[in-house]
Structure 1
Amino acid sequence: MQGIQQAVCTRLGFEFFGCDPNHKVGISLNVREGVRPLNGMRIRPEAGTCGWYIWAGEELSEADDFFVPLHVAHLDDWEPLLLPYLGLAPGFRFLITEDYEDVWFDPRLLENRE
């Protein structure tokens, strides 16, 4: 998995920042249902998380239970299309489908949240 992540970072000209398979992501349940597009944003990792929040569809819900914890190692069972993008560093976002890719840096993701 790490090889395809490094390849994406190299292709896009970004530094690779690994994602421990034992750490957790926050993910919306609709990702498993095949909803598109797929969205991801990575904040700084902390306390056993890799920093990724991933959801499907056009809207990011504010509901407290929108994201559920999932170990990175299980993402392949939920949605393999996500795996190549997990090596992007904190501060990055992506929006993807099978036919579309948009990846960008969002410095607001690195601001301290208290």
Structure 2
Amino acid sequence: MDQVQLEICQRHGTKFMPSEETYKVGISESALRGELPLNGLRHPPESGTTGWFIWSGEWSDDPAFFKPLHLYHLKENCPAALPFMALPPGWRFLVAADYEDVWSDNTLLNI
């Protein structure tokens, strides 16, 4: 998977910044069910987290919307997100059927 992640970073002209597999992402139940479109954004990592938040459907500010999940569990629970997990903080992705978008969002760095 690292090669696919590296290629995505190279294609978008950004640093390759993978996280430790034991670090956690925040993920919605809808993303765990495999619903599309799948969205992801990365804040700066802190305290054993990757900085990634992954969701499907509408964003919610409900504190229970995102569940913690170790990065290594994405292989089974949300494989569509894995190719993007080495994008650095300040990046987003959107995946739908036959569609992929990746872009920089510097507002994610101002937390």
| Offset, 1:12 | 2.2
Aligned to 1:90: 89
Residues of 1 paired with 2:97 and 2:86: CA distance?
A: 19
| Offset, 1:4 | 1.4
The 8 Å contact of residues 36 and 97 in structure 2, kept in 1 or not, is answered as no
Greater shift in the superposed pair: 79-88 or 40-49: 79-88
Residues of 2 paired with 1:110 and 1:26: CA distance?
A: 17
User: CA offsets per residue over residues 78-100 of structure 1, 9 Å max, x none?
Assistant: 12111110010000011112411
| Offset, 1:38 | 0.3
- 1:26-45 aligned within 5 A: 26-45=26-45
The 8 Å contact of residues 81 and 98 in structure 1, kept in 2 or not, is answered as no
Residues of 1 paired with 2:39 and 2:104: CA distance?
A: 13
Aligned to 1:79: 78
Residues of 1 paired with 2:102 and 2:3: CA distance?
A: 18
Residues of 2 paired with 1:78 and 1:63: CA distance?
A: 22
Aligned to 1:56: 56
Residues of 1 paired with 2:96 and 2:20: CA distance?
A: 24
The amino acid of 2:63's aligned partner reads D
Aligned to 2:69: 70
Aligned to 2:107: 108
Residues of 1 paired with 2:37 and 2:56: CA distance?
A: 6
Aligned structure 1 segments of 4 or more residues deviating by more than 4 angstroms:
none
The amino acid of 2:106's aligned partner reads P
Aligned to 2:17: 17
TM-score by length of 2: 0.95
TM-score by length of 1: 0.92
